[in-house]
Amino acid sequence: MGEQGGKRGPCNRAETTKRDREVYLVGMTDRTLFQKIHAREIPARFVYEDDLVFAIHDIDPKAPFHCLIIPVKPIPSLAAVTPEDAEILAAILLASRKIAKENGLAQGWRIVNNVGLHGGQTVAHLHFHLLGGRHMGWPPG
């Protein structure tokens, strides 16, 4: 069925149709975008790095401060984590606290994790958005 009409895929929203093909294609080649950034093959502004996780400024920031906290291990999404990844998940949350503190977010911040198509995930390598520097609205879109 064509992209412009008829059946549109699982969530039946026109604006997601073109994106459906992009979601999960990014990062599903040999290595993910974030693996290439971690290897310094693609430029990014690093905010934080340790053995398990790293953080970069988002290329399209949605707040005065917006970084992505990413495990070195290319786990596709939160839906794919296993109990063996518990240390990595803890490292992400601990890094978020450290990054917030070092970047003047004492008044608060928000962590967002998009999972899958309905969650709005576009890069298939687990990452948590850390947003701050303004008052966040609720509920999220």
Q: What's the min distance (Å) between Cβ of 45 and ligand AMP? A: 8
Q: What's the DSSP call for residue 65? A: E
**How far, in Å, CA of 29 to CA of 43, rounded?**
19
Q: What's the min distance (Å) between Cβ of 93 and ligand AMP? A: 17
Between 33 and 89, CB nearer to ligand AMP: 33
Between 2 and 66, CB nearer to ligand AMP: 66
Q: Of the listed 38, 66, 125, 127, which one is catalytic?
A: 127
Task: Write the single-letter amino acid at 128.
Answer: F
Q: What's the min distance (Å) between Cβ of 138 and ligand AMP? A: 18
Q: From residue 49, give the alpha-carbon distance in Å to each of 66, 79, 96.
A: 16, 24, 11
Residue 14, H or E segment = helix 14-22
Between 52 and 111, CB nearer to ligand AMP: 111
**How far, in Å, CA of 126 to CA of 89, rounded?**
10
Chain residues in the site for ligand AMP (CB under 6 A): 33, 42, 44, 56, 58-60, 68, 114, 120-123
Q: What's the min distance (Å) between Cβ of 25 and ligand AMP? A: 12
Is 127 noted as a catalytic residue in this protein? yes
Which backbone phi and psi does 113 adopt, to 5 degrees?
-130, 115
Between 91 and 123, CB nearer to ligand AMP: 123
Residue 61's CB is within 10 A of a number of other CB atoms, namely 13
Residues annotated as catalytic are 127
